[in-house]
Structure 1
Amino acid sequence: MKGCFGWLLALALSLGTALADVKVQNDFDYMGPAMQRWVDGNGKTLHYLDEGPRNGIPVVLVSGHGTSGRALALTDFLRSLRQSLGLRFIALERNGFGETAFDPSGDYASYAAEVEALLAHLGVQRFSLVAISGGGPYSAAIASRLPTRLRSVHLAAAISQNAGVAAPSPSCALSDQQIIDNYLAARYDVPSVWWDLGPNTAVNRVPGFLDEAADEGARFFYGKGSTGFDLQPLVHELKLYCSQPVADVSAVAAPVFIYHGEADTTVVPAHAAFWRSHYANVVATRLYPGEGHDVQYRHWGQILADLAYGGRRTLLCWHGQSRLVETREAGPLLKRGATLDICAWQRTGP
């Protein structure tokens, strides 16, 4: 009996010690960027996110075609780096997407005006600008409207315009209903289909990315409820790509960074060449041989580094450690076996 009591006492003491070692959280865990609402001076409700320290480096993110204002969540696989670099991301949802009401008269310029109003509301003066894919022309409108307030411009696999750059999409010659029937319906019925980047995409190495992308697609489609689902905002934006030229950015003196996959068939490399000639101060053109329309994710770490360091640091994996090295040191290290961005990209699967 004494032996049994001693054993129970020892067990209780060991459990007490183990429980004492448990660190119980005081705050809620992060569940992704939070969307906010603000009614502008015209009475329109703007849906946006403002993620990061209030005293951080402000970054206006203009995400791709068919994304909601919460698309920053697709880059949360490098949230720790984003936080370490002190970056504050601001993203305004586009016309008709997600929860935002659709205005048939909306265009690149009206979106830029809304961004300007939002920045005034948030008290942001100088900022950097990041455009992903279909966000390219919108970013140019912002740059044209607010050239002296830019810290830097970053164009990741960003589309520009049809005229003088690439052959127009076959959809440009179709009616709105034909675009819906022949182009959009089959691709947008299931969000995961729209976000299927193929079996060889680098993002397959990021655990949970495709699930997050499907959730993002669902938010984009059904942010206004199942009865609010409407393909017209997508048609409207596609028609803007077909018809509207990119804004004049000759007044922009801020440094410009371009990131593009040389094998991109969605936004062909001719768009990168256009941006290189359109902006006067392109300080880095990062072309990635053999890579397609996922460089905005595969090299997101370098984009973050460029935002924070203005091109003076290169993100590498060297001897199993992710490092931000002086850019002048990157070339020799790459020749000796270093790889671009964080080491997790070198894994063959999730």
Structure 2
Amino acid sequence: MKLAKFISILAALIINTALASELPNSLPNNFDSLGPTVKQLTTETGRQIHYVDDGVTNAHPVVFTGGLGTSVRAIRLLDFLRTMRQDLNIRMITVERNGFGQTQFNPNLDMSDYAKDVEYVLDHLDIDHFSLFGISGGGPYTAKIASRLHKRVLSIHMAATSPLIGQADWCSPDQGTSGYSDLLAYPMQFFGFPKSSSMHQVEGFQDTAFEEAARAHNLRGQSADPAPLEHEMALYCSEGAIDTSHVKSKLFVYRGQADELLNNEPNDAWQKHYPKATLFLRNYPGEGHDVQYRHLDQILLDLSGQSSKILICKDGDQKMISPLAQQKLMPREYKLGLCQWDN
């Protein structure tokens, strides 16, 4: 009996010693990220700018502009491919727009002021040349930045947006803002994705979108005040067509051809508004407004300079192929993007 007890104690000591010796190697060296930190700059006039700078200093800088009525932390919606972004050596910078999130609302500011804010942040970070990435309602702001800083822009990437935002069809009397404003107190409605959206494949994506909607319109205690959103939408119409006729950089456009929000856009709209740019159209038949996220993998590759190839999944393998090779494949033979979308 004593021998059995001795053996049990000895075995326990051996196991505990083994676990203790292994434990230090299993402990992390760093904390896991909860997302980028929002930083502040104060202009000469005393106004505060809120921005995010996510990436290493020597990486390729990309200025991201989120969709309608979003805060600076909308960049979190891109984090489902954060590791890919880091592996491609991309540094994401985004500047918060007037009245959302942590930024105080000033009804006297316009898109030009936002472009100046972006310039101020880039100069502060000692960034000269950069790329632009705008989605949905952030597209006009991206165009404004491109117009102002065109000599510094390496490439422009526009997803689920249109150069026609702010023109006659968008600004008719029946295109009021109340439909959006009424949803601000209900983040799950304001930033809800339809059940058919591919983004439900990304664990936690929809919940992050809900959190972003709550943050953008409540963080400072503004209690879903519609004034900033109504101001932003009014700016689209007061600004009208943004002059990008002098912009000469590469322009990549990502369009869902079943996007009901952009279904009136003619095929030549982008070339007309960017006559000196080298245009690359990436059309996605049967897809809607969520192409800005669903095809983020291709957008990141384009941003990193690998735009001559298309990312596909074929027979369970991820491949980069030429557009010509893609045309030779039947649609049923492959899917666009990472194989994870095929699961």
Please, what TM-score do these two structures have when normalized by structure 2? 0.91
Q: 1:322 aligns with which of 308, 318, 323?
A: 318
Q: Where does the alignment leave 5 or more consecutive residues of structure 1 unmatched? A: none
> C-alpha offsets along residues 304-335 of structure 1, whole Å, 9 cap, x if unaligned?
00000251232222332334445555444666
Which residue pairs with 2:200 in the alignment?
204
Distance 1:14 1:54, change over 3 A: same
User: Match for 1:135: what amino acid?
Assistant: G
* Residues 52, 28 of structure 1: alpha-carbon distance in 2 compared, 3 angstrom cutoff: same
Pairing 1:59-78 to 2, within 5 Å after superposition? 59-78=62-81
Query: Are 1:287 and 2:288 counterparts?
Result: no
Separation in structure 1 between the aligned mates of residue 17 and residue 173 of structure 2, nearest angstrom: 70
CA–CA separation in structure 2 for the residues paired with 1:339 and 1:124: 37
1:86, 1:247 → 2: CA distance? 31
Deviation at 1:342, TM superposition (A): 1.0
Whole-angstrom distance in 2 between the partners of 1:201 and 1:219 = 23
Distance in 2 (CA, whole Å) between partners of 1:6 and 1:332 is 70
1:183 shift after superposition: 2.0
User: 1:129 aligned to 2:129?
Assistant: no
Q: Secondary structure at the match of 2:131?
A: strand
Name the SS for the 1:248 alignment partner: coil
2 CA distance for matches of 1:170 and 1:271?
22
For residues 254-291 of structure 1, give each alpha carbon's deviation from its aligned partner in whole angstroms, at most 9, with x where no partner exists: 11100010011123350774223211323310111111
Establish whether residue 265 from structure 1 lines up as the match of residue 271 from structure 2: no
Question: Where does 1:30-109 land on structure 2 (aligned, <5 Å)?
Answer: 30-109=33-112
User: Is 2:164–2:265's contact at 8 Å kept on the other side of the alignment?
Assistant: no
Residue 148 in structure 1 maps to residue 151 in structure 2: yes
- 1: CA distance, partners of 2:114 / 2:330: 41
Cα RMSD after superposing both structures: 2.2
SS in 2 for 1:153: strand
Deviates more, 1:309-318 or 1:247-256: 309-318
Quote the Cα distance in structure 1 between the aligned partners of 2:317 and 2:16. Answer: 37
Q: Pick from 292, 298, 305 the counterpart of residue 294 of structure 2.
A: 298
SS of residue in 1 equivalent to 2:182: helix
Tell me the amino acid that sits aligned with residue 342 of structure 1: L
Q: CA deviation at 1:81?
A: 0.4
**SS across alignment from 1:32:** coil
Displacement after TM superposition at 1:185 (Å): 4.2
Distance 1:21 1:169, change over 3 A: farther
What residue ranges of structure 2 are gaps of 5+ in the alignment? none
Aligned residue identity for 1:87: I
Residue number in structure 2 paired with 1:168: 171
- The SS at the match of 1:49 is strand
> 1:240 aligns to what?
235
> Alpha-carbon deviation of 1:223?
1.9
Q: How many residue pairs align between the two structures?
A: 339
Equivalent residue letter for 1:92: V
Partners of 1:117 and 1:67 in 2: CA distance: 20
Q: Which deviates further from its counterpart, 291-300 or 250-259? A: 250-259
Query: Which segment is superposed worse, 148-157 or 20-29?
Result: 20-29
1:10 is matched with: 11
1:217 to 213, 216, 236: 213
Displacement, 1:116?
A: 0.8
Percent identity between matched residues is 38
| CA displacement, residues 191-245 of structure 1 (integer Å, 9 cap, x when unaligned) | 11111121101111111011101111111011212x5642101001111223322
Match of 1:110 among 102, 109, 113: 113
What's the TM-score once normalised by structure 1's chain length?
Answer: 0.90
The residue type paired with residue 225 of structure 2 is D
Residue identity matched to 2:79: D
1-side partners of 2:206 and 2:215: how far apart?
A: 14
